[in-house]
Chains A and B, each alone.
Chain A
Amino acid sequence: MKSLNWQIWAGFVLSLVAELSYPFLFVRWAITREFPWANLVLFAIALVLLFLGLRRAFKPDKRIVSKVFSSLAAAFGVLLLAGLLFMILVMGSWLPRSLGAPQVGQKAPGFTLTDSNSRPVTLAQLLTEPIDNKPLKGVLLIFYRGYW
């Protein structure tokens, strides 16, 4: 009875988890959604397992079937990683041009918006109210994608 090449199986399953956990799990929390750190860490572990499994499968006493299967599993893992990198590097840049966004030196357009207590707040207010009883030096507006 040959022992199971658990590394290749674990690596295969983990690379699937590393890929699918971003859209189905990690998007739920702000900290894992802003950047898919958790997924990259999972992929790193998956690749180590796949490498160990591959090395084991290519030992001289192993059958050709296990060599072929391990190679396919490792290739699939690498392909999934490529998918995640595609999302980060390519899909991440699918953004509008925003040529009309205020430039340095221009006046920031004023606004009245509601805060988290549903109270109206203006930019002018934000720019004049002191911060920690000290005069305000500036406001940092962070426009973010939101959690819908």
Chain B
Amino acid sequence: MRSFQKNLNKFNEAGIRIVGVSVDTPEQTREYMLQKAGYTFTFLSDPKLETIGRYDLVHAKELASGKDISRPAEFLIDPSGTVRWRMVTENFFVIARPEQVLEAAKALP
């Protein structure tokens, strides 16, 4: 996600809003993502995994945390609400790269 923060200007220019979603509470997000890590885009909290569940991304009893968390996944959604590009990775050390998303964003109307 660091690479998305670094390329935030390019996403703004392309008219793409970046939104992070996880089980972290707003307090945790403020501490870890905004204050410590210095991210500036929007973060949403889903501690009860309602939305994460609706997107079928629940990673139940994840090994490192022992908790139910979200698996990594990225969705590019157009203004009508339709998914135009997605990456649902097979390995949580492999996540989408900004270039991939910016390339896919060129096809948006």
Question: Which A residues form the contact surface with B (CB < 8 A)?
Answer: 23, 27, 29-31, 34-36, 88-89, 91-96, 98-111, 113-118, 121, 123-124, 126-129, 131-132, 134-148
Contacts and interface: CB of A to CB of B under 8 A. Distances in A.
Range for the number of chain B residues in contact with chain A: 35 or more
A139 B57 contact: no
Contacts of A146: 22-24, 28, 69-70
Interface in B27-42: 28-30, 32-34, 36-37, 42
B26 A98 contact: no
B99 interface: no
A113 B46 contact: yes
Contacts of A92: 91-94
A71 B52 CA distance: 49
A96 B37 contact: no
Interface of chain A: mostly helix, strand, loop or mixed: loop
B90 interface: yes
7 contacts: A95-B71, A121-B44, A137-B105, A144-B22, A144-B70, A146-B70, A148-B23
Given A102-B55, A143-B55, A111 B36 contact: no
A115 B44 contact: yes
A113 B93 contact: no
A107 B30 CA distance: 30
Given A91-B63, A111-B50, A135-B15, A145 B29 contact: no
